[in-house]
Chain A
């Protein structure tokens, strides 16, 4: 079955900078914005880009992620001509190995991609928050007859030294790639979104796979090799909302942006809906004592206390007299009577005891994880 373009979604990352939030789940499965998980954004983008075949590469703590993706039906990826396939590391007759890097993960799944014999392969990751129609990028990639096109976010020149920067000429051809340059020459940052011609990618991966010295990473090895070889490598500038939520601070700040009157990420947009997979829950109930201002409250919540400037995921309980401020409360957590939560992130299924005080007026984010409670 020949396809024009299929997607490979890298979802094996640990996301260790998210602390206890990723202690038992992979980063793409971390909850975001009340009812979403990080991977919803990439999978929904695939849906809106008419990409119907997605290989999801998993490695770290895959249980929750796998059951969440399930048949892919939540993102209409349960079709017969492709759909979503979970690709964990596997054993073959030469032995078994973990995915040693982003490029190695794709390398080990060459047979999967080959079974669709696509013209192009889109490589994305499952832990960024953005809405993007990849088909526009694919069109540009094909127009230029490029071997590789890299999605590039236009960032502030001042911030450019935090990113991998692509130096381009007028027709967006990449001349040079600099990882976190001290004196950036351009403000086009790599978003970790790649479209390769499949024939080129297959060759590059095989060459990289045989190199002992390689770290088997796209950014560090494969792309520099492609540039050195003089292949047709272009940048695709993307002007839009894009956030990396790799740290507790960015995870917190990005969600707090959703509470603005007109947030930069519009999740009410019906034309470009972000889909998610969750059980059918009843509407939330606000008791006679409840109050909610500047907040997002999801289905299944039971609110008897006060919620200000906070985000509550599915099935959260806030008991009488409790006050939740400037906080993110994840699925099925319970805030006991008269407890006070401020500037905090409360992990899934955590119970905060009656009267407990978490966080303070000081803007330091307190993180209460599931493991903290088991101890």
Chain B
């Protein structure tokens, strides 16, 4: 029987520092009510993978808060295991690394204790998709492969502008997930003290002739988020019918922490067009081409265009926002005007009062 463990890891070489001052990249809010990690996590749950380790990084407070008991993902059963794994980082990670296996070393026991597991699936926490994994795992298992690499294709991935970035691709294609036989990983962990290649992809590359490596292409939507422009664009993708249908319209749901919010209230004078609006908001102004997260208040006479408002924004009256990203709990005072551009949106950090 195939039994899979999912490992969701963090990317270190991103340019989203303005969002990650107090949180890891995996818990950056996205799409009105989600966090980035909801997408890889839901793909695991939808494939009946219930043994999941999430590498928390150093700022894991928001991750613990978000995942809670795992109830929203049905991961709070007695026989299922959702663990936030410690990341003790006393080494530098080379640019262009896909996943440094040294990060897993402190969690060796978590992997060793689950003896019935025979495969481990690695996914970065910062890619938006609705990945079908069941079939990929079946093929991997039935063919007796050692490694299956799931790559993306179709949508333009954003470039972080580093010469090393090709190293974390597989023949030039973005890697969305890597499925590896468990014994390969435990062997690497056992020999870790002896040095060698620590990047998962690099290790596979070096040992290609000894391993049965299969490559599967994910044909659907995906977008990696590692800089502001890509974050902005991925959010705006929610306004595309085809993306919405693929991410939210099928059998495989995207799960997230529920907030028990009231339905969103539109008050007289509201004008809303081409907008993605979460629950618990009060909208009195104008909103076009924008993403509005939970519990946001938009005052009378305010205009929000081409912008992303994360949770609990307080927008006063007569405000004008264009190409703006507000992190959580930002207050914008009456009659404030903020304008960015599609290429360079204005970003306001969490809790600011402008």
Contacts and interface: CB of A to CB of B under 8 A. Distances in A.
- A and B together in one complex: yes
B279 A298 contact: yes
A355 interface: no
Interface-centre pick from B255, B258, B269 (highest chain A CB count, 10 A): B258
Contacts of B273: 286-291
Interface stretch (B183-191, B226-234, B259-267, B345-353): B259-267
Nearest to A313: B263
Given A280-B254, A282-B244, A299-B279, A287 B266 contact: no
Contact of A282 (B254, B258, B274, B292): B254
B260 A268 contact: no
A296 B72 contact: no
A273 B265 CA distance: 16
Contacts of B272: 286, 290-292
Interface residues of B, number: 40
Given A282-B248, A282-B254, A292 B260 contact: no
Given A73-B71, A280-B72, A294 B268 contact: yes
Contact of A296 (B244, B265, B269, B287): B265
A312 interface: yes
Interface of B: 31-33, 71-72, 238-239, 244, 247-248, 253-256, 258, 260, 262-280, 282, 287, 291-293
A293 interface: yes
A299 B278 contact: yes
A286 B291 CA distance: 11
Given A287-B273, A292-B266, A292-B270, A275 B71 contact: no
A326 to B, nearest CB: 14
16 contacts: A33-B263, A35-B262, A35-B263, A273-B260, A283-B291, A283-B293, A284-B276, A284-B278, A290-B273, A291-B273, A293-B269, A297-B263, A299-B33, A299-B279, A307-B266, A313-B263
B212 to A, nearest CB: 38
Contacts of B280: 268
Given A282-B247, A290-B272, 17 more contacts: A268-B262, A279-B253, A282-B244, A283-B278, A283-B291, A284-B264, A285-B275, A285-B276, A286-B272, A286-B276, A286-B287, A287-B273, A292-B272, A293-B268, A297-B263, A297-B266, A298-B264
Contacts of B276: 283-286
A274 B259 CA distance: 11
Interface string A204-229: 00000000000000000000000000
Interface of A: 33-35, 73, 259, 261, 267-268, 273-276, 279-280, 282-299, 307, 311-313
Nearest to B244: A285
Nearest to A40: B260
A295 B255 contact: no
Given A280-B258, A283-B279, A311 B263 contact: yes
A276 B266 CA distance: 21
Nearest to B283: A292
Contacts of A275: 260
Contacts of B292: 283
B99 to A, nearest CB: 28
Nearest to B294: A283
